[in-house]
Chains A and B, each alone.
Chain A
Amino acid sequence: MREIDVQTVENAVCEMCVAANYGLSADVKARLDNAFDKETSHLGKEILKKLEDNLGIAGQDQIPICQDTGMAVVFIEAGQEVHFTGGSLTEAINRGVRRGYREGYLRKSVVGDPLLRVNTGDNTPAIIHYSIADGDSVRITVAPKGFGSENMSKVAMLKPADGEEGVINAVVQAVKDAGPNACPPMFIGVGIGGTFEKCAIMAKQALTMNMQEHSELPHIAKMEEEILERINRTGIGPAGLGGDATALGLRILTYPTHIAGLPVGINICCHVNRHESRVL
């Protein structure tokens, strides 16, 4: 049994909330650079240049990359040999979010009751996805999620007969529907299989994967490339004002499913695809 004080978790969550909002991971940045090099639309290229400049200013002048600093989504994978000490883990995570959003000058974008809509004032509660793994380490990923793109995300309960083509069409259609609302160029996370809720969580998780890599499953790797190519043929382009770069990256996660179903979760993210991970 390894003991981990929840204070360590709080500190890590706090630091990751701030870091994610001021800088993007190397793979995400590389995809943006690559799109800038390849863009053939004049206006599109100018916009991509502005997004690059924006990232530079965010880092240098300590201004968040985007004003929507998101709702904090936290994935926490705890080894079963770990014993958390020092109080409630959930409360520690929320303390970390509260501190990160205050100390990092981040926007408080969470309302307590979805219908009464009063701002909680500290960006809590976080959305926490717990899972248990083997071993004695804890892996934490913090992914602040903006809602311009979250609002354009979808779950499609396809039929087995819809197959691969059905999945591809559903994703491309979701991107078309999102269009300029989701701050293109976008990143797309796709979850195929499982159940209604499982495919949505996989889609979210897929957004935190390395966007420079592809699935280890050959048929899925091929699909990742094909869907991305189809999306970039729509012509939506940077800021939805036309061009080649409609999506910068797309990752897929899969899971076994029921004989009667083919659930597909499509999580749309903007170019500000923020995530930080740490292993304790």
Chain B
Amino acid sequence: MDRYITTPLTAEKAAQFQCGDMIYITGTIYTARDAAHKRMSEALARGGDLPMDIKDAIIYYLGPTPARPGQVIGSAGPTTASRMDKYTPALLDLGMTGMIGKGRRSKEVHEAIIRNGAVYLAAIGGAGALLSKAIVGSEVIAYEDLGTEAVRRLTVKDFPAIVVIDRFGNDLYETIDK
């Protein structure tokens, strides 16, 4: 079914989501991909802070193209989530409730999703021009030197994503594989 939600994504809201639901997100989400995850993990190892309040937050695995003058952001579709698997359980244990990406997740991520009542959503891969239309604000908040891989705070309006792993660990891809 279609669900319209506003951030923050509390565990109560996330618990409603079922595999295959179409979610339209309005509010604030954060971008981070490979290099930013590595830095965040190093920060945590040092006892340092994350660039965002991770509690009830959604991270979008995205490295956009540069915006043209007058545009909020360039092309902005999801990258493959499995490359973040190594870093994800720690973020989920700190209270992150949502992730947006594409592709399969590891067993460890499944377990951490169930343990924390989180969800994994997929945005349509290769639809970056279309998806950029749901992003109404974008600001780099950390690791600017990483270029496209910097952490951004995005303001989104009805950003569309499909529930792939729900809070019980049901996995839409696995249903299709069978």
Contact = CB atoms under 8 A, between A and B. Distances in A.
A241 B172 contact: yes
A57 B130 contact: yes
B177 interface: yes
Contacts of A43: 20
A55 B67 CA distance: 18
A64 B128 contact: yes
A166 interface: no
A95 interface: no
A66 B177 contact: no
Nearest to A51: B127
Q: Interface size class for chain A?
A: 35 or more
A79 interface: no
A29 to B, nearest CB: 13
B147 A148 contact: no
Interface residues of B, number: 39
B124 A65 contact: no
B129 A65 contact: yes
Contacts of A241: 122, 162, 172-173, 176
Contact of B128 (A63, A119, A179, A271): A63
Interface of A: 43, 47, 50-51, 53-55, 57-58, 61-69, 105-109, 117, 119, 121, 148, 151, 179-181, 183, 235-237, 239-242, 270-272
Interface of B: 20, 35, 62-68, 71, 74-77, 79-80, 82, 102-104, 122, 124-130, 132-133, 146-149, 162, 172-173, 176-177
Given A64-B75, A179-B104, 5 more contacts: A67-B64, A105-B66, A106-B66, A108-B147, A271-B126
